[in-house]
Amino acid sequence: MNRTGCVEVEPFEGACQCGAVRYSVAAGPAKQTVCHCRMCQRATGNAFAPLMEVENTRIDWQGYAKTYQSSNVAERGFCDECGTPVFYRRIGADSTEFMVGTIDTEIDYRPIANHGIESRRGWVLELAGLTEKETFFTEGEQIISHQYEHGG
């Protein structure tokens, strides 16, 4: 793992939405970047991938993440129960880049770089200027989540 741009992070835990794939990461250096490349868009079904890169030796896996080799140089880990994209990894690399949305622990995520900007969607730059509201619930409606809850 190239340590350039790394910051020290506290231990953190994460999971897919059903909880079949869970992980804990020991404290240490992490590289926080956002990737807008076309492959990350496809792999996440989204506009970009916020990533947290850590060394493999600090990861304790609980549960099996299936992998898909998305190119000659990279594989992507996901839960084959619920489909959540969990990580990106260069083939044979000593580090793993977690999808930040899978992290349970409250972390101070501050990406230091945009990657894959040849595919960055123009509207991403305009998000900060849009109107805002919290998650909408119809009055009296009760949503029962089927997602894994940290510590639950």
Contact residues for Zn ion, defined by CB under 5 A: 16, 18, 20, 35, 37, 40, 79, 81-82, 116
In contact, 104 and 13? CB cutoff 8 Å: yes
Q: In this complex, which beta carbon is closest to Zn ion, that of residue 17 or of residue 107? A: 17
Residue 109 beta carbon to Zn ion: minimum distance, rounded to whole angstroms? 17
Least CB distance from residue 35 to Zn ion, whole Å?
A: 3
Write down the least CB distance from residue 132 to Zn ion, Å: 27
Residue 36 is which amino acid? Answer: H
Triad 117, 40, 6: Cα angle to 5°: 70
Query: Is the Cβ of residue 21 or residue 54 nearer to Zn ion in the bound state?
Result: 21
In the complex with Zn ion, which residue's Cβ is closer, 51 or 54? 51
Q: Which residues contact 120 (CB under 8 A, 6 or more apart)?
A: 36, 48, 114
How many Å apart are CA 66 and CA 126, to the nearest integer? Answer: 35
Q: Which two tokens stand for residue 152?
A: 């639950």
Q: Which CB, 16 or 30, lies closer to Zn ion?
A: 16
Q: How far is the CB of 25 from Zn ion (least distance, A)?
A: 18
Distance of alpha carbon 132 from alpha carbon 38, whole angstroms: 27
Beta carbon of residue 53, minimum distance to Zn ion (angstroms, whole number) = 12
Nearer to Zn ion, 11 or 83 (CB): 83
Rounded to an integer, what distance in angstroms lies between the CA atom of residue 130 and that of residue 126? 7
